[in-house]
Amino acid sequence: MEQRVIKIAAIFMVLFMAVTCVVLFYLPGFHEKMVAAQEQTMSQEDAGTHMDMVEIGSTDGAAEEEITFSQQLRITLPDGVTQEQVSIQDQYVTQTVDIMFPGAGTDYLYHSPIIGRSDHIDNLTFESEGGQGVIEITLDKVFEVQPTFLDGYLYLDFIPLHDIYDKVVVIDAGHGGNMPGATIGGQCEKDIDLAIVLQLKQIFEENPDSRIGVYYTRVDDTNPSFEDRVGLANKSDADLFISVHNNSTVSGKTSSVNGTAVMYDELKEDNGHGTKELAQICVDEVSGALGSRNRGIINGNEIYIIRNSEVPVALIEVGFMTNATELQNLSSPEYQRQTAQGIYNAIMRAFQEGF
């Protein structure tokens, strides 16, 4: 009996030692994995939403004392950070505002919460990398950001566009980035569309009018989503939305087909100052400026940005890239300038006619 007890005890001792060895062998690795997982979770939390770090006015005396400023938000800058070290980027197309500054660790907002009102703010995130902090504010509409630096604080106001301008225009250069559009004879539609829009931008800059605000979906070789393109028009409450494109035959082969056409939303109600009337103005003015064939206005509800536009919209097909003569013209800076002038004339005429 005693020998059996001793034998059982010996077996348990051997098993205990074996388990202990296994635990000691794997414990460091297990600990490292746990630490890594915890750090990853903390990192994800740091990069996540921080709407809870925006302190809104309350009945608390201290909070009321802090919210005595007229601006919408107040951001406490890290000690020693100057105005010159702060970068503010207003991304109109995505309705986001990025504020970048040094001296902000991952716990920055916990010690220096943003004070103010959350009106029109859909989301707020904060990230820190190498001590460089980035606050990203997502708004529900397009605003002009008005910053004020005072006594170690950055104050922000978000101004509705029509509080600044009588009229707002959104200009869209078709395609871009990895979406070249029609490609004929080594020429990409996206490049011609952009060249025309940049010429139009220059014309507006040469003829400044403080009553008109002009916003662009792209001014470089990028490809905003259809949602962002039409969203810029809708969320800025634009008075006009004009998209610049070029045409081609279905086959993509060289053809004698030529001329300027403009697409509109045939399913929108005709109120005298809508998409149809704008399209007619655009096709008349652009074809007139170019001396091109006026192909009239075309149903375009099947086009996403036309169908989803809540403001008067016109999509201009300047010319046919599959026509050798028009392709040569469209590739010319002089012709691009003429096209831009025609679009500018159309915009001015539309405003004169009550849009």
Mean pLDDT computed over 167-178: 98
pLDDT for position 239 = 99
Contact in structure between 123 and 49 (CB atoms under 8 Å): yes
pLDDT for position 49 = 55
Give dist(CA 346, CA 350) in Å, integer.
6
Contact in structure between 327 and 185 (CB atoms under 8 Å): yes
DSSP code at position 78: P
- % pLDDT > 90, the chain: 76
Q: Which DSSP helix (H) or strand (E) runs through 121?
A: strand 121-129
Give dist(CA 104, CA 184) in Å, integer.
51
**All domains in the chain, ordered by first residue:** 51-159 (2.60.40), 165-352 (3.40.630.40)
pLDDT for position 50 = 55
Asked if the model's pLDDT at residue 8 lies above 50, the reply is no
Contact in structure between 120 and 96 (CB atoms under 8 Å): no
> 266-321, pLDDT tens digit by residue?
999 888 899 999 999 999 999 999 999 999 999 999 999 999 999 999 999 999 99
Pick left, alpha or beta for residue 212 (phi over 0 → left; psi -120 to 50 → alpha; otherwise beta).
Answer: beta
Report residue 118's pLDDT band, with 50, 70 and 90 as the boundaries. Answer: confident
pLDDT for position 70 = 86
> 57-91, pLDDT tens digit by residue?
433 433 444 577 888 999 999 999 999 999 999 99
Asked if the model's pLDDT at residue 23 lies above 80, the reply is no
Asked which of 29-38, 169-178, 272-281 is least confident by mean pLDDT, the reply is 29-38
Mean pLDDT computed over 117-129: 93
Phi, psi of 68 (to 5 degrees): -115, 5
As given in the structure block, the two tokens for residue 332 are 């010319």
pLDDT for position 67 = 72
pLDDT for position 110 = 87
Hey, which residues does 76 pair with through a beta bridge?
153
Give dist(CA 85, CA 172) in Å, integer.
33
Asked if the model's pLDDT at residue 26 lies above 70, the reply is no
Asked if the model's pLDDT at residue 221 lies above 70, the reply is yes
- % pLDDT > 70, the chain: 81
Asked if the model's pLDDT at residue 337 lies above 80, the reply is yes
DSSP code at position 82: -
Give dist(CA 337, CA 328) in Å, integer.
14
Average pLDDT of the chain is: 87
pTM, two decimals, is: 0.82
Mean pLDDT computed over 124-145: 95
Asked if the model's pLDDT at residue 19 lies above 70, the reply is no
pLDDT for position 271 = 86
pLDDT for position 10 = 46
Report residue 18's pLDDT band, with 50, 70 and 90 as the boundaries. Answer: very low
